[in-house]
Structure 1
Amino acid sequence: MPIDTRELMEAIAIVADEQNVRVAVKQSGKGTAICAACCFAGGLLMGPVGLAVGGAAGGIAAYKMTSGTFRPLGEVILNDLTDTQREQLVQHVTKAVADIHPTDIVMLIPLITQNASIQQVVLNAIMSYATNELRMQIVD
């Protein structure tokens, strides 16, 4: 029996959301640059004290500019992936749980949502896919 891709994607998103996995969506570099620039400018103007003041000011500025750009991985999985990426993720997760050998493929989705050890296998597969294929940064 073929896997219902949408149901499996929802199960994967549930696992990611339960573990509170978030990803940085194209803003980590911007925040780093802002913080570093402020710290550098503070150091040039006021010496060692300026490093601390510039670092604090840069951190606050980076927070304000990148606020809301770290999103739950489950939301990204359900809303932002293309059909090709969804299919690749389903294949990635299916390979990860292939050793489990569920007697019926219909049992795979409840197995993923209810079994902690399988959730960890699926979570590792999701995080691997997000970092290696989608080039996203996982935020703890």
Structure 2
Amino acid sequence: MPSRVDDVMKLLNRVAEERGMMDVWTNCRRGALLTGGSAVVGGLLIGPPGFVVGALVGGLLSWRKSGEFKTAYQILLEFTATERQKLCMEVMAIVTEFDWNDASDLIRLVMKNPTVLKEVTGVLNTHLSNKLKA
């Protein structure tokens, strides 16, 4: 059974890579708060021109930190064993119709079937979203 879990995790990594999934939302919120907060502080300190200066400084700081995105695979590695097991069981319920020997077989079978790929992507999205909200 552990090899099946490993195969499913490799499948999820591949699906995430293909879809370009990453945690962009966290950095967007951080950037917005940094830019908005800097604008308010600048406005309080300098007055109306301070809003512009503060927003400019905050925007530049946000831009400098924009390269710190986590890939979906990095987020999957942060899952607890229980969360990972639950995710794998849900995906295995979707791919029960397939008979595979290794991860490459499973990946090939799922990527060829758009319906199953959509379901697997949906499950992955749900679990990643729940992890990021926590």
1:18-45 CA distance string (max 9 Å, x none): 1101015965554333222211123332
Q: Which amino acid aligns with 2:132?
A: R
Counterparts of 1:103 and 1:20 in 2: how far apart (Å)?
25
Larger relative contact order (Cα-Cα within 8 Å, sequence gap ≥ 6): 1
Q: Is the 8 A contact 1:16 1:74 kept in 2?
A: yes
Counterparts of 2:30 and 2:121 in 1: how far apart (Å)?
28
1:135 aligns with 2:121: no
1:4-83 equivalences in 2 (<5 Å): 4-24=4-24, 29-44=29-44, 45-47=46-48, 49-64=49-64, 66-77=65-76, 79-83=77-81
What TM-score do the two structures reach when normalised by structure 1?
A: 0.71
* Gapped regions of structure 2 (runs ≥ 5): none
Aligned to 1:104: 99
Question: Over the residues paired in the alignment, what is the CA RMSD in angstroms?
Answer: 3.0
Alignment: residue pair count: 130
* Gapped regions of structure 1 (runs ≥ 5): none
Aligned to 1:113: 111
